[in-house]
Structure 1
Amino acid sequence: MTESLTQQLLARYRHLALHNENEAATRLKVIDHVLRGVLGWTDDDISPEEHVSEDGTTTYSDYILRTANTAIVVEAKKAGAAFNTSRGQRRIKLGNAFLQSELGAAIVQARDYARKLSIDFAVATNGATWAVFPAQRHDQVKFHDSSAFVFWSLEEALQENYQEFVDLLSREAVISGSLERALLGRAENQVENRKLNSYFTANPRITQHNPVFPIIEDEVMVAFSDSIVELPHESFEKCYVATPESMKFDHKIKMQIARRDSVIGGQIARPMKDRDAQALYERVVATGKKRRPLALLVLGTVGSGKTTFLHYARKVRLAEFFGPKGNGAHPQWAHLDFLNNPPESSATDFIYRSLRDYINADEFLSDASRCVEKAYADEIRAIKSGPLARIASSEEKLNEKISDFIFNDYQQVTPYVDRIIKFATLTEPFFLAIDNVDQIEDEEVQSRLFTEALTIARKLSVNLILSLRPATFAKHRHSPAIDAFDFESVQIDPPKISSVISKRFSLVRFLADGKKGEFTAENGARVLVENASQIVDLLQGSVLGTEIGERIEVLATEDVRLALRMTREFLERGYTNQGRAIAFHQRTGKYVLPRHEAFRAIILGTKTVYNEDFSPIGNPFDSRLSVTRAQLLRLYVLSAAVAYASDAKFRFLDGLTISENLRKIGFGDPYTEEVLADLCKHRFLFTANHGEPSISSSYIPSRLGGYVVRELLANFTFLENTLFDTYISVPGIWNELKELSYRIDAERNMVNRTRLRAQRVRLFFNFASECYAPLIEESQKRGLPFQWCSNPFAERSTDLRGELSRVLRSARSTFKRSRQLAAQSLSQSPDYADIEDPEDLNVVQHGATHGSI
C-alpha cells in the first residue's frame, strides 16, 4: 500500500467523523478502499447488500467477502461510532459485558447475519476500528468463550500495526487460513470422526482366502516376487521382459499420455530396445577387454525394473560374452543393495563389508594361493627381507607372522578389500553395482552415500554402475560427486505390465507343472487336482486380456513391483467358487472371475474395509486437509489437469498456473502445495522433471488420474469402497449413510441388500457433487479457463445411473440363479456342466455387504 493512499484514507475518515457522515458515506469513502486497496479483495469476492432471510423477514448484510474457501460477513457502521470500549487490547473475549457496548452490539448483529447465512467469520467496523471474530464454531466452543481480534484505529491498522492487520485480514492471508489459525487455533474444521471405516471394520461374509491358492502358493510367491534376481538362470530368463510400453493417446479416457522430461541432456541409451541394448552390451564388453573403468548411470522410475535389468545383464546377456563360449574372461560382479544397509552403518563401512563378503563367497578371490598371496606378494616380499629377516630360516614362524599380518588387514576390512580387488582388476574386469540408493529417504545420507560410493569406485579402479530414480539424480546432478565422474547414462523404461504378468504366469505354470493337490469346494466336496498348471490356466485367463488386467495396469501406473503385489494379493484373495470354476474351465476353456470382486480385492489390498493408507489407489473424494471447503481439491486439480491433457498437443501443466487459478477461487499456496504433493504421492500426477512436487514444478496427469476422472467416478465398486474413508461433513448425510450401512449389514435378502447399497452409493455421489459445486461456481464466476470449469460429477452422472441399473439387474438375475445353484449344492452333485454364466459362480456363498455384489 502506498503512503499516499494511507494519508488519503486517514484524512477521509477524520472528515467523515468530524461532519458526522452516515454509514453509506463511510462505506464508500473508507471501507470500500480498505477492502480493495489495502486488503486486496476483488470485485468478484465482494457481494454488497446481500439478502439475509429467515422466518419470513429479510434484512441486508453490508458486505460478504466470499471465495470457494471462505466467507466473511462485514457489518459497517458510520464513522465516529463509539467503538473504543477496550482500546489497547488486541484480543478481546466476547463475554456478555463486552457485548453490551456499541461495538459489541455491532458484533452481535454481524454474528446473527453470519449464522443465518452459515458463514463462520465476521467483521464489525466503523471504518477506523476493525473487529474480526468467529461467528459460529464447530469445535464445541461457545461464542461467549471465543475472542475477537480488534484494531482500534485506522492509524493502528494502516501504520502502527499494518503488517499484522494485513496478515490477518488480507485476501492472500485469509485464503491461506489466517482467520482459522488466529481465531480458532487451527485451520482444520473437520474435528469429528465421520468416516465409515471407523464404524465398519470387518466384513464377515467374505471368505478371506482363495481355497485353491495353497496348491500353487509357493510357485506364485516365487514367480510374483518383487525380486526374481535369485532365480536359476532358466527361470529368470522366462520372467524378463525387454519391451518398453509406448506412450499414446488413450482412447478410453481420451487423454494424452505425455512422457516426462529426461534429467540427462543429450542422447540416452534405452536398453529395453534391442538396438540400444546391443550397443550397451558391446560397450561393457569393450570395457572388459581394454581394462578401462566404466561409469554407468542406470535411471528409471520406481518399479521400472532397474534391479532386474542389472541382474539380467549379468546373468544372461553378459554371460554370452564372458562365459565358456565367449571370450574366456570371468568378470567379477558385486551387487550391493543399500536396502540391506543397517541405519547405524556408514556407506563406506557397508560397501567394504559387502565387498569382503563377496570376496569370501568367491572361489577365486578367497583362494589363498591363487589370489590372496599374490595380492599381498609385494608386502610379503618386503616383510621377509625386512622386519622378519631374522626368522627367515624358520618357515613356520615366518608364515605365522605373515598370516597374522594378513588377518589383521582382514579384520580391519578396508586394507584387505583394497588389496584383493586391486589385484583382481589386473586380470579380470570388476563391476561394482550400487542399487537402491534412492530408497533412502534422508537426503543428507543419500548425498554422503553418493560421495563415498564414487570415491571407493575410483580408488579401487572398478567399473561403477549406479542405479537411481531420475528424481534422485535430479537432486544431485550438480553435486561435486556426480560432476567428478564421467557417466554414461542408461534409461530403463518400464515394460508393459500385461507382458510382465504374462511372463510371471508362464513361470508359475512351469514351476507347478505336474504338481498334484486338493481343496475343499464351496459345497463341501473334496476336489482333486491332477496337475496344478490347470489352475494357473484358469487364473491367468481371469487376468490377462480382461478388465481385471486392464485395471491392474492402470492402477500400477508403470510400477511393476506394485502390479505384481496387486496380482499376488488378488490371486490369494480371489472370491470365487473354485470347484465350479474349474469344471466350467475344463468344459469351455475359459473362465473369468467376477470383475467387481477382483477390482474390490485390488482396491482393498490386505484390509477388509478401504483405507487410503493401505490401498494401491488414493481417495479423490477427500484431500485429507481436514478443511471442508477444500475436501474436493484433489479431484478439482486432477480434473483440470486431465482436461488440459485431452488436447493432443498437451505437454505439461505448469504448477504456477495451478497456483494462480486456485488463488483466484480462494485457496492459498499452502493448500496447493499439499494437494500437489498428495496427487503425486498417489500417482495421479507426475512432475515433468522427476523432481519433488512444488508450485514451481510442471505436471503431467497419469493414466490412473485420467481413469479416476473419466471412468472410476461412476464405478459402483470404486465409489462404494472409497466412501468408507471419506469425511462426511454434512450431519444429515452422515447419519443417513450410517443408518444405511447398518441396514445393509442386517439385510439377508441379496436383492434388497443390493438396492440399499445402490442407494448408499447414490447418496454419497450426490454429497460429493454438492461439495464440488462451489468450486465450479467460483471458477465460472471468475472467468477461469474452461478446463477449470468442467464438472466431472455432472459428466459422469448419466454413467452412474446406468451403472446402478446394471447392478440392480445383476442382483435380481443372480439371485434367481443362486437358488438354482443352492438346490444343486444340496444334492452334493459335482456335475457343473449346466453352468453358463461364470459371473454366477460367485453368488451362492458370497452375498455382499460393504463392497461386493
Structure 2
Amino acid sequence: MTTTTNATREILRAYRAIRLSEANEASTRLKVIDRVLREVLGWLDEDISPEEHVTEDGATTYADYILKTANAAIVVEAKKGAASFEVPPGNRRVKLSNAFLQSELGEAIIQARDYARKFSIDFAVATNGGTWAIFPAQRHDQIKFHESTALIFWSLDDALDSSYQEFHDLLSRDSVISGSLENSLLGRSENQVENRKLGSYFLSNATRLGNPVFHLIEDEVMTAFSDSIVDLDGESFERCYVAAPESIKFDHKIRMHVSRRDAIVGGHVLRPMKDRDAGELYAKVRSAAANKKPLAILLLGTVGSGKTTFLHYMRKVRMKEVFTCDTQNPYPHWLHLDFLTNPSNVSASDFIYRSLIDYINRDEFLSSFERCVKHAYGDDIRALRAGPLFALGGAEEKINERIADLIFKDYQAVQPYVDRILRYATKNITFFLAIDNVDQIEDESAQSALVTEALTIGRKLSLNLVLCLRQSTFAKHRNSPSIDAFDFEAVQIDPPRIASVLSKRFGLVKYLTEGKKGEFVAENGARIRVDNASQIVNLLQGSVLGTEIGSRIEVLATEDIRLALRMTREFLERGYTNPGRAIEYHRRTGRYVLPRHEAFRAIMLGTRTVYSEDFSPIGNPFDARISITQAQPLRLFILAAAVAYASENGFRFIDGSIIGENMRKIGFGDGFTARILEDLCKHRFLFTANHGVPSIASSFVPSRLGGYVVRDLLANFTFLENTLFDTYIADSKVWQELRNLSHDIEAERNTLHRIRLRVQRVRLFYNYMHTSVAPLIVESQKRGLPSQWCTDPMAERRSDFRRELSRVLTSARKNYGTAAKRVSGVASLTASSEDEDLSNV
C-alpha cells in the first residue's frame, strides 16, 4: 500500500539531505526521527522521554528515547543518518543471530537491547532514520534473545511509502497500546507465562469443615431458600413472599449514588410491587380469565429480581379463587413452562408442544373424548363420514377405527393434536401459557427463535400469554418483528429488599422445623440431642438478620434475590463450624452473633476450599485475567473511577466513550477497555444503563457492590486474604515471599503466631497491589485526566487497612494470647463482629 502525504514527503526529503551531508545524530533526530515518531506514528509529547540516564558501574550514558504509556514502553536508539546500516536488505523478519549482529546495525540493536533491559522494558528500536529495526529486548517465555526475530524496514521509502500501512500498524501509538508488538514479535499479547497464583499450589492441602447441625434442617432450608419455590402450597407461598420493592438511592457508608437504570419499555408500565398497579394487573387477569379479552403480559425484571416467584404468588395466592378447579363448569387453565427443565437437545417449539400435550393428558376435560376430543375433531369426523368413509355402508366399528387412526396419528405427531384440542377448548375456556427462564438458553439466536415461536403459538391457539424475560434479553429482541407485532401489557418486577426476603425465608424454615427432633456430633465429639430444630433456626437467623452479615449479603447480591438465597444456603451449610457451644450459649442467653469473617469467607468460597473467581459469587477486582502484567489492575482502576463519578451530585451514568478516551490517553487500546468493561458487568461491579450488552458505546453505572469494593472491601482482611489466592503475582520476589509465608502458615501450630503470619501475608499483598496500580495513577496525573481517574483507591483505603490489621491482631491476642482467660470457652462463645475467631484460613 502506498501512502504519501505532505509530511512524509518532507521527512523523506530531509532524510536524503542528511545522508548527502553526513549530518550528525542530533540533526538526524531533530529532522527525521522526531518527526516520524510524532507526525507519522502519533506518539504524544507526554509519551516521549528523551535522553534518559542509564548508570552502571559509575558510568552514565543516555537512552535516546523512551516511548512510554501505562501499557507499553519502547527504547529507541538513534544513530546518525550517515551510519552504515548497509546490511543487504532481506526479508522483513530477520533472526537475531550472532552472525547478523556482527554489523553496525547489529551493534545498535545490542546497545538498544541493553538499555531496555536496564529499564526493564520489553521492546526496542534501533534506527538511523532510514532503517528501522524493531525487536523484543527481553522475553518472559524462556526463548533466548538470539532465537528471537526483528522486524526490519530497510529504508525510509519502504517505511513511509511502499510499506507505510505495515509500518504504521506495527509502531504507531494506537497500534502499540493495542498490543501490536506483542502479537507481531512474540505471537501473543500475554506476558504472564508462569502459573503464579497461590490457589494453584495450596488448593490440595486446604481443608473445609461443614456445619454439623445442617443435616437437621437441610430439607427445610433447601425448600425455603430454593431458587424456585414453585412446588410450595399457597400458605407457604404467602409466608415467604415479599411485595415491598428495593428503594435505596444513596448509600451513606460508601458515599455513592445508587443510580436507577433506564426504563426498558416506553409508555405505561405496571409495577405490581406497588398496591395500585397490582390491583390493575389482577383486574386485567381476572377479565381475561372470564374469557372477555385476550391478554399478553410481558413480565420484565433484572436477573434474580423475583419474576418466577411473582408469577406463582399471583397464581397460587392473589388469584387462587380464579384458577380453582370446578369439574362442573369451565375454568381457566394455567400452564407454567420453565425452560430450566428443557433438555438441551430439544427445540423450543418441541418443548412447548410436549409440555402442552402433557397438560392436556392430565386434565379431565381436555383429555376426555366425549367432552372435548370428539368436538375438536368434529368437522373432520363429519367430513369423513359423509365422504371417504361413507362407502363402508354404516359399519360403525370400521368407521370408528379409521377415525381413531386419524386422531391417534395426530396424537403421535403431538403438534396437530395439541392445535386441534386447544383451538376448540379456547373457544369456551381461557388458557394462560406462562413461559419462564427463556434467558437460560445461552444461544442468542435460540432465544430469539423461542420468543418468536412462543408468540406464534400463543396467537395461533388463542392463548393468554405471559412471557418472562430479563430486561437485558428484552433489550436484545425488542425490535424483532414478532415482539413489535404483539400487543403486550408491560409489567415491571422491581426486586424486593433482600433483608425482607431472608427474614421471610427464615420464618418459613422455622415453621417447617417446629417440633422436629434430632441430634448432631459437636466439635468435641459429644452427641447433642435437639428437641426442637426451630431453636437452631433462631440461632442462625440471629446471626444474619439485622447484622453486618445480612447487610453484606444484600450488597453482594446486587438486587439478585436468587444469588442472595444461594449465598445464604451456602453460608448456612458451611459457615458454622462450631455450633455446639453456640447452641448452648444461645439457650442460656438468647443471643449469639456468628463472627462476621466466618460468614463472609463461607460466602466468598461458595463450594470451594480456596477462593476462585470462577466458582465464587464475588469477582476479583485485583486481576483483569488477561495475562498482561501492566493491565492487571485495570478492573480496579476503571471501577474506582466509575465510583468516583457516582459520588458526585447529579450523577446519572458515565459514557463508555469517556472511559475509552481516557484509557487511550494513558495507553490502553479499546480492545483492552472493552474486555474490562465486559468483565466488570459480568461480575456485577458495573451495569449498563440501558440493560444492553456492554461495549464502549454503552453507558455505565456502578452497582452498590462496586462501590463497596472500592470504598470498603479493599481494606477488609477476609476479602484480601481470599482474593490473593486467585491473583497473579508478576513480581518474582513478592511471589516467592508469598509462597514462603503460605508454607509457614500451613506449618505453624500456634494459633496466635499463625494469625500474625497471615496478617503479614495480607500486608505484603496489599502493598504489592498498591505498587501495581500506582503507574496507572501516575500516567493519569501526568496526562491531565479528570480527577476521578487520578485518585489512588489503595492509598485512600490504607488508613482503614491499618486499622483492620490492628483489629485482627488485637482480637487474636485477646482470644489466643497467653494471658487470655479461657473460662468454659466463653471467649469463643461471645465472639462478635469486633471479636472474631480467626483460626481458619
TM-score range, shorter chain: over 0.9
Q: Please list the CA deviations of residues 760-807 of structure 1 after superposition, one character each: whole Å capped at 9, or x if unmatched.
A: 000000000000110000000000000000001101111111111110
2:668 pairs with 1:661: no
Other structure's SS at 1:83 match: coil
In the alignment, residue 248 of structure 2 is paired with which amino acid?
M
* Counterpart selection for 2:181 from 179, 182, 197: 179
Task: Measure the CA separation in 2 of the matches of 1:754 and 1:731.
Answer: 24
| Contact 1:322–1:329 under 8 Å retained in 2 | no
* 2:715 matched residue in structure 1: 714
| Contact 1:557–1:703 under 8 Å retained in 2 | yes
2:205 pairs with 1:212: no
Deviation at 1:354, TM superposition (A): 1.1
Deviation at 1:697, TM superposition (A): 0.4
* 1:50 matched residue in structure 2: 52
Q: Please list the CA deviations of residues 258-286 of structure 1 after superposition, one character each: whole Å capped at 9, or x if unmatched.
A: 01111211221111111111111111222
Of the structure 1 ranges 386-395 and 400-409, higher mean CA displacement relative to structure 2 is found in 386-395
Other structure's SS at 1:86 match: coil
Percent identity for Structure 1 against Structure 2: 68
| Contact 1:52–1:116 under 8 Å retained in 2 | yes
In the alignment, residue 103 of structure 1 is paired with which amino acid?
L
* 1:604 matched residue in structure 2: 605
* Counterpart selection for 1:192 from 187, 191, 194: 194
| Contact 1:84–1:152 under 8 Å retained in 2 | no
Task: Measure the CA separation in 2 of the matches of 1:203 and 1:376.
Answer: 69
Deviation at 1:313, TM superposition (A): 1.5
Other structure's SS at 1:62 match: strand
What does 1:299-314 correspond to in 2, within 5 Å? Answer: 299-314=300-315
| Contact 1:583–1:833 under 8 Å retained in 2 | no
Deviation at 1:386, TM superposition (A): 2.9
Deviation at 1:727, TM superposition (A): 0.4
Q: Please list the CA deviations of residues 684-719 of structure 1 after superposition, one character each: whole Å capped at 9, or x if unmatched.
A: 000111111101000010000000000000000000
| Contact 2:178–2:672 under 8 Å retained in 1 | yes
Question: CA 1:720–1:530 in structure 2 vs 1: closer, same or farther (change >3 Å)?
Answer: same
What does 1:346-365 correspond to in 2, within 5 Å? Answer: 346-365=347-366
In the alignment, residue 301 of structure 1 is paired with which amino acid?
T
Deviation at 1:824, TM superposition (A): 4.3
Task: Measure the CA separation in 2 of the matches of 1:616 and 1:597.
Answer: 16
Task: Measure the CA separation in 1 of the matches of 2:141 and 2:155.
Answer: 31
| Contact 1:271–1:277 under 8 Å retained in 2 | yes
What does 1:410-425 correspond to in 2, within 5 Å? Answer: 410-425=411-426
What does 1:722-733 correspond to in 2, within 5 Å? Answer: 722-733=723-734
Deviation at 1:483, TM superposition (A): 1.4
| Contact 1:224–1:504 under 8 Å retained in 2 | yes
* 1:37 matched residue in structure 2: 39
Question: CA 1:425–1:746 in structure 2 vs 1: closer, same or farther (change >3 Å)?
Answer: same
What does 1:749-768 correspond to in 2, within 5 Å? Answer: 749-768=750-769
* 2:452 matched residue in structure 1: 451
Deviation at 1:247, TM superposition (A): 3.3
Other structure's SS at 1:148 match: strand
Report the TM-score when normalising by structure 2.
0.97
| Contact 2:338–2:437 under 8 Å retained in 1 | yes
2:306 pairs with 1:334: no
Of the structure 1 ranges 398-407 and 61-70, higher mean CA displacement relative to structure 2 is found in 398-407
Task: Measure the CA separation in 2 of the matches of 1:496 and 1:359.
Answer: 39
| Contact 2:315–2:323 under 8 Å retained in 1 | no
Task: Measure the CA separation in 1 of the matches of 2:836 and 2:628.
Answer: 41
* 2:810 matched residue in structure 1: 809
| Contact 1:577–1:842 under 8 Å retained in 2 | no
What does 1:663-702 correspond to in 2, within 5 Å? Answer: 663-702=664-703
* 1:134 matched residue in structure 2: 136
Task: Measure the CA separation in 2 of the matches of 1:322 and 1:620.
Answer: 49
* 1:828 matched residue in structure 2: none
Question: CA 1:71–1:601 in structure 2 vs 1: closer, same or farther (change >3 Å)?
Answer: same
Deviation at 1:238, TM superposition (A): 1.3
* Counterpart selection for 1:23 from 19, 22, 25: 25
Question: CA 1:545–1:329 in structure 2 vs 1: closer, same or farther (change >3 Å)?
Answer: farther
Question: CA 1:838–1:117 in structure 2 vs 1: closer, same or farther (change >3 Å)?
Answer: closer
* 1:481 matched residue in structure 2: 482
What does 1:381-780 correspond to in 2, within 5 Å? Answer: 381-391=382-392, 393-780=394-781
Deviation at 1:434, TM superposition (A): 1.4
Question: CA 1:754–1:446 in structure 2 vs 1: closer, same or farther (change >3 Å)?
Answer: same
Question: CA 1:685–1:119 in structure 2 vs 1: closer, same or farther (change >3 Å)?
Answer: same
Other structure's SS at 2:334 match: strand
In the alignment, residue 847 of structure 1 is paired with which amino acid?
S
Question: CA 1:690–1:735 in structure 2 vs 1: closer, same or farther (change >3 Å)?
Answer: same
In the alignment, residue 10 of structure 2 is paired with which amino acid?
Q
Task: Measure the CA separation in 2 of the matches of 1:644 and 1:11.
Answer: 49
Other structure's SS at 1:319 match: coil
- Give the unaligned 5+ runs of structure 1: 826-831
2:57 pairs with 1:65: no
Task: Measure the CA separation in 1 of the matches of 2:79 and 2:397.
Answer: 107
What does 1:78-157 correspond to in 2, within 5 Å? Answer: 78-157=80-159
Q: Please list the CA deviations of residues 330-387 of structure 1 after superposition, one character each: whole Å capped at 9, or x if unmatched.
A: 2111111223333332222221111101111122211222222222222223333333
Report the TM-score when normalising by structure 1.
0.96
Deviation at 1:205, TM superposition (A): 5.5
2:172 pairs with 1:170: yes
Task: Measure the CA separation in 1 of the matches of 2:368 and 2:329.
Answer: 20
Deviation at 1:819, TM superposition (A): 7.2
Other structure's SS at 1:104 match: helix
* 1:829 matched residue in structure 2: none
2:340 pairs with 1:343: no
In the alignment, residue 116 of structure 1 is paired with which amino acid?
K
Task: Measure the CA separation in 2 of the matches of 1:797 and 1:429.
Answer: 64
Question: CA 1:8–1:645 in structure 2 vs 1: closer, same or farther (change >3 Å)?
Answer: same
Task: Measure the CA separation in 1 of the matches of 2:578 and 2:344.
Answer: 47
* 1:227 matched residue in structure 2: 228
* 2:272 matched residue in structure 1: 271
Deviation at 1:656, TM superposition (A): 0.5
Task: Measure the CA separation in 2 of the matches of 1:724 and 1:582.
Answer: 33
Task: Measure the CA separation in 2 of the matches of 1:328 and 1:498.
Answer: 43
Task: Measure the CA separation in 2 of the matches of 1:157 and 1:2.
Answer: 11
Task: Measure the CA separation in 2 of the matches of 1:205 and 1:3.
Answer: 67
In the alignment, residue 76 of structure 1 is paired with which amino acid?
A
What does 1:227-306 correspond to in 2, within 5 Å? Answer: 227-306=228-307
In the alignment, residue 137 of structure 1 is paired with which amino acid?
R
Other structure's SS at 1:579 match: helix
Of the structure 1 ranges 390-399 and 799-808, higher mean CA displacement relative to structure 2 is found in 390-399
Task: Measure the CA separation in 2 of the matches of 1:125 and 1:487.
Answer: 67
> Any runs of at least 4 consecutive aligned residues in structure 1 with deviations exceeding 6 A, and if so which?
839-842
| Contact 2:4–2:160 under 8 Å retained in 1 | no
Other structure's SS at 2:435 match: strand
In the alignment, residue 201 of structure 1 is paired with which amino acid?
L
Q: CA RMSD in A?
A: 2.0
2:831 pairs with 1:847: no
Q: Please list the CA deviations of residues 446-486 of structure 1 after superposition, one character each: whole Å capped at 9, or x if unmatched.
A: 22222222111111111111111111111111111111111
Task: Measure the CA separation in 2 of the matches of 1:535 and 1:484.
Answer: 54
| Contact 1:297–1:466 under 8 Å retained in 2 | yes
| Contact 2:233–2:316 under 8 Å retained in 1 | no
Q: Please list the CA deviations of residues 156-193 of structure 1 after superposition, one character each: whole Å capped at 9, or x if unmatched.
A: 11110000000000000000000011111111000001
Task: Measure the CA separation in 2 of the matches of 1:490 and 1:429.
Answer: 20
- Give the unaligned 5+ runs of structure 2: none
Q: Please list the CA deviations of residues 400-447 of structure 1 after superposition, one character each: whole Å capped at 9, or x if unmatched.
A: 333222212111111111111112211221111111112211111122
* 1:161 matched residue in structure 2: 163
Task: Measure the CA separation in 2 of the matches of 1:2 and 1:263.
Answer: 49
